[in-house]
Amino acid sequence: MKRGLAAYAIGIYGFLHLPLLILAIFSVNASRFTAWQGFSLHWYQAMFADRDLLESAGNSLAIAVASTALSTVIGTLAAYALWKRASNWLAGRRSSPECRCSRCFSGRFAMSTFVWECTR
Amino acid sequence: MTRLRRIFVMPAAILMLVTIAVPAGIIGVYSVLSRGAYGGVELPWTLENYGRLIDPLYGGIFVRSFALAAAATALCVALGFPLALFIARAGARKNLYLSLVILPFWTSFLIRLYAWMFLLRDTGLINTVLQSLGVIREPLPLLYNDGAVLLGLVYGFLPFAVLPIYATLERLDKSLLEAAADLGARPIAVLTRVTVPLCAPGIAAAAILVFVPSLGTYITSDLLGGSKTILIGNLVQNQFTTARDWPFGAAVSIVLMMVAVALMFAVRRRGEELL
């Protein structure tokens, strides 16, 4: 059963990551079509030569940094205020210290939201 | 101390009020007004926008959206549970495997959908490879159908199902599983009759976290579904853009929101600790 579960996990991780991996591989394809025509950094050159694109990337980054800073400050204050409250309408009922889910997700989720903001 | 806490919570409370409650209120008001000639809203007040929802055309859209969201939810929970089990039993590498679930979030959902378009379209990788191997002559119609939308939803929301299920599995009392095994239950019976029932809160939370965004999705159906697949999210989007019928779009949004809230309350007791 253990081996079956591991094989299954490999399959699901493949499903989650292969599409992006393939996209990344084809970003260094010389051709603009699906056929592989050899390695080339042509598209990356084109990207860094595109002023409009760089400008929008800069805008995205500025907005992401600002919103991350703001929400971290506001969120930290609120989290402190709601800390160890037995009952609260913002935190939800029964938010006991045993609620470990928040601990194990928070850091990674914060990182994810940053990237999320950055790329939306 | 209490006063300090009250001050600390204010910015978040105000932010939530201004960015969630106020817009929802505006949508609510729009939904009972009349349609403006060039978009926007006008007096008089009316309930006609809600009445129009009874039209079988829209009923069909609602049914299709529900069916797709339900299928995506069932698939995400069914696919996510074994993975959550795998991670919970992984020991020292738990954190690595958990990160691998969250890693896709570090890329824009839009780009991840484009990645699937690159794989699925007529000239995409799958069809190109199959054709060059001589397996098929004509490209398979993989993109622009309900199946592709379902795939996109499952792909996008699977991590939302894995995480809450993992959280409940992780803090499951192991002695209960040992007791079941000691009393003669086979591993499969321990899984189906002890682990899964004890995991009900996590499964309920997972189902809500997948179902609600699936029901309101518009970008997935827009990119992977083509013009045939109209879901509630696309209906709302169309009313506010091309159709210029803001009140009707608002009424559809309100109904969608009420469904989501009703579902939240329905499973609140079970998934409470995690939502």
**Predicted complex ipTM:** 0.82
Q: Please give the Cα distance from B52 to B43 (Å, whole number).
A: 18
- pLDDT (average), residues A96-114: 47
B74: pLDDT strictly greater than 80: yes
Side chain identity at residue B175, one-letter code: S
| Tens-place pLDDT, residues B136-177 | 877 778 888 888 899 999 999 999 899 989 988 888 888 888
For residue B16, the chain A residues in CB contact (below 8 A) are 90
- Please state the domain extents for chain B: 56-271
B105·A115 Cβ contact <8 A: yes
Q: How far is CA B11 from the centre of its chain?
A: 28
Q: Which of B4, B11, B98 sits opposite A74 (nearest CB)?
A: B11
B111·A78 Cβ contact <8 A: no
What phi and psi values does residue B193 have, to the nearest 5 degrees?
Answer: -105, -15
What is the pLDDT of chain B when averaged over all its residues?
85
If pLDDT is split at 50, 70 and 90, which confidence band does B181 have? confident
If pLDDT is split at 50, 70 and 90, which confidence band does A86 have? very low
Q: Which of B15, B104, B273 sits opposite A16 (nearest CB)?
A: B104
Half-sphere exposure of A101 (CA within 13 A, CB side): 22
Q: Give the right CATH number for B56-271 from 3.40.50.1370, 1.20.1250.20, 1.10.150.120, 1.10.3720.10.
A: 1.10.3720.10
- pLDDT (average), residues B253-265: 86
Sole residue written with tokens 């309408």: A89
- Please state the domain extents for chain A: 1-49, 51-120
Say if CB B202 and CB B274 are below 8 A apart: yes
